[in-house]
Structure 1
Amino acid sequence: MKLTRRRFLTISAAFAALPAHANSWQGRAFGADVSITINGPRDLAKPALAEARRTIREIEQLFSLYDPASSLSRLNNSGALVDPDRCFLALMKAADDAYRITGGLFDPTVQPLWRALAEEHDPTVARAAIGWERVNFDTDRITLDADQSLTFNGIAQGFATDLVVDALTRSGLANTLVNIGEYRGVGGPWSIGLSDPDHGYFGTRALTTGAVATSSPSALSLGAHAHILHPTARPQWSTVSVEAATATMADALSTALVLAPRDAVENIARAAGLRRVTLVTFDGDLTTI
């Protein structure tokens, strides 16, 4: 994976704040660089880091689009998943909450459109398949409508981040920073640098207990299309950074708010109880809500 300017600045800013005695791990998960940092006793940190890595692997095995044996791949291939794992159901519920809070701007059923554009196919059928409201799920079964498939790339990293943070906290560790594509800190303060792919560095956030997630449509393109997709809405912002209580919500809403005009951003931020939203226009202007 190419280390983009955004990625470099964010990692650099975060680790510049580390105390010399911090315990840390860096690796790969969900197709990106990840890191866990613990400021605490080594006898607690070492087993907690091992447990955190196991948790990340387990979440990848549930939600990977590239592993044919993952729960998500099996659901997409067959259109149904019987007796879904409790974590899978928890993420389904979180995605449903984000869909409803954003008025449908966050919609995991865009996967067929993503694939059609990536493979340069006619997207007509894929666009018609989009619609989270046609997905049914309960504790016994998840069922997709015809031609549907899901992607959790706009929320699974945040979800994994929260699970790891919660596990570290249960282990008695009260000063941690977890980055699995999105950041969540406990204790701190941790300094997180923010940057736009086109306009560069635009600020630093002091993270204590909470999460921050940043989405930029131009970070990846599918031909002439940005990678953040919706059947009707188009990107309104060059970058959106969301600060929230959980990384799951920050992740999902930073993705969705890329597609929202200013008044909708304000309404969604208020409804979701977000701590702060930072918007970067395509001209490079900065707005904070």
Structure 2
Amino acid sequence: MTRRRFLTIVAAAAAIRPARAATPPREWRGRALGAEARIVLLGADGIAARRLFRRIEGELARIERHFSLYAASSLTRLNRTGRLAFPAPDVLALFDLAGKVHAATDGAFDPTVQPLWRALAEGRDPAPARGLIGWRNVQVAPEEIRLARPGMALTFNGIAQGFATDRVAELVRAAGFGNVLIDIGEIAGLGRRGDGAPWAAAIALADGTEVARTGLSNVALAVSSSGGTRIGPGGHLGHIIDARGSPARWRLAAVTAPSAALADGLSTAFCLMDREAIAAALKQFPGARLAALV
């Protein structure tokens, strides 16, 4: 389990305290995009819950086939060949959102950072990798996504878990369920808990120190920590790397938003930005709020 994943599990720990009900909560646990995942469903009988959970497993597998950085996926194919013909609608949607977050954060969120991340993680000279960075060199069209420079590579680790959370939320709503907790690296609270209160989330640092609390009712929460996972020889670097060359400014950033993918991308970027820049970025996304900054 990565330290970053530990943060989101801590954030979800206070979420379930349902009142006594005729139909008990139904819970699913599994893995998605390399992390542990959990879904708590209220108001469903056992048969309906099992049927929905099977559909969720299929949806998560489909998203893995698009955005996994390590298993065979649309993303690994793009990174290997520099092009992806006729990308799926979900792939185009995530590229579109990534571009918007990149622009709003003045480049702090940049999926093209992957070659630099690998060089630093492996203790290699980062200078050659810096020449491969730049979202402007990602060409996106319905017919093809192309990386303009040989050697470029992308990572969506700062946004894909949120995207998976959003897709599962859509599936759950379409099935007619309105009171659900979804934790797929980022958290979405749909409706309310069994006692009628909003889902409650405690936001904590990796050492367990609580820094904030927030209620979640039809809103998503994403938590990012620059030092949540350590990389490089001796683990001397935080895993959130600024492609522009600046060090991380904050130990933790937490964002709530109507979309988990948006909250995910913004929280990742906010670890690297000053308060003025964060405030300017938030103004471009109605409904997005800063929940914690430490």
| Same fold (TM > 0.5) | yes
Shift of residue 198, structure 1, vs aligned partner: 4.9
Give the alignment partner of residue 123 of structure 2, picking from 116, 120, 134.
120
CA distance in 1, matches of 2:6, 2:109: 26
Number of residue equivalences? 280
Give the alignment partner of residue 101 of structure 1, picking from 99, 104, 117.
104
CA distance in 2, matches of 1:175, 1:211: 13
Give the alignment partner of residue 139 of structure 2, picking from 133, 136, 139.
136
Shift of residue 28, structure 1, vs aligned partner: 1.4
2:47 is equivalent to residue 60 of structure 1: no
Shift of residue 32, structure 1, vs aligned partner: 1.2
Higher relative contact order, chain-length normalized (CA < 8 Å, sep 6+): 2
Contact 1:242 / 1:274 at 8 angstroms: preserved in 2? no
Give the alignment partner of residue 239 of structure 2, picking from 224, 227, 236.
227
Q: Answer with 232-241 or 163-172: which moved more.
A: 232-241
Contact 1:98 / 1:106 at 8 angstroms: preserved in 2? yes
- 1:182 maps to 186
Q: Which amino acid aligns with 1:228?
A: I
2:19 is equivalent to residue 15 of structure 1: no
- 2:260 maps to 247
Give the alignment partner of residue 176 of structure 2, picking from 172, 175, 178.
172
Contact 1:19 / 1:39 at 8 angstroms: preserved in 2? no
Shift of residue 37, structure 1, vs aligned partner: 1.2
CA deviations 1:75-130 (Å, max 9, x no partner) are: 00000111111111111111111111111111000010111111111111111111
Q: Which amino acid aligns with 1:185?
A: G
Contact 2:249 / 2:272 at 8 angstroms: preserved in 1? yes
Contact 1:10 / 1:195 at 8 angstroms: preserved in 2? yes
- 1:200 maps to 209
Unaligned runs of 5+ residues in structure 1 are: 282-289
Closer, same or farther: CA 156–5 of 1 in aligned 2, 3 Å: closer
2:44 is equivalent to residue 35 of structure 1: no
TM-score, with structure 1 as normaliser: 0.91
Unaligned runs of 5+ residues in structure 2 are: 193-197
CA distance in 1, matches of 2:170, 2:134: 32
CA distance in 2, matches of 1:150, 1:8: 26
Shift of residue 41, structure 1, vs aligned partner: 2.1
Closer, same or farther: CA 49–238 of 1 in aligned 2, 3 Å: same
Shift of residue 196, structure 1, vs aligned partner: 1.3
Give the alignment partner of residue 251 of structure 2, picking from 238, 241, 244.
238
- 1:284 maps to none
CA distance in 1, matches of 2:85, 2:27: 38
CA distance in 2, matches of 1:18, 1:257: 36
Shift of residue 2, structure 1, vs aligned partner: 5.9
CA distance in 2, matches of 1:7, 1:116: 27
Give the alignment partner of residue 153 of structure 2, picking from 149, 152, 158.
149
Closer, same or farther: CA 179–8 of 1 in aligned 2, 3 Å: closer
Shift of residue 55, structure 1, vs aligned partner: 0.5
Q: Answer with 95-104 or 36-45: which moved more.
A: 36-45
Shift of residue 15, structure 1, vs aligned partner: 2.9
- 2:290 maps to 277
**SS class of match (1:272):** coil
Closer, same or farther: CA 255–73 of 1 in aligned 2, 3 Å: same
Contact 2:242 / 2:248 at 8 angstroms: preserved in 1? no
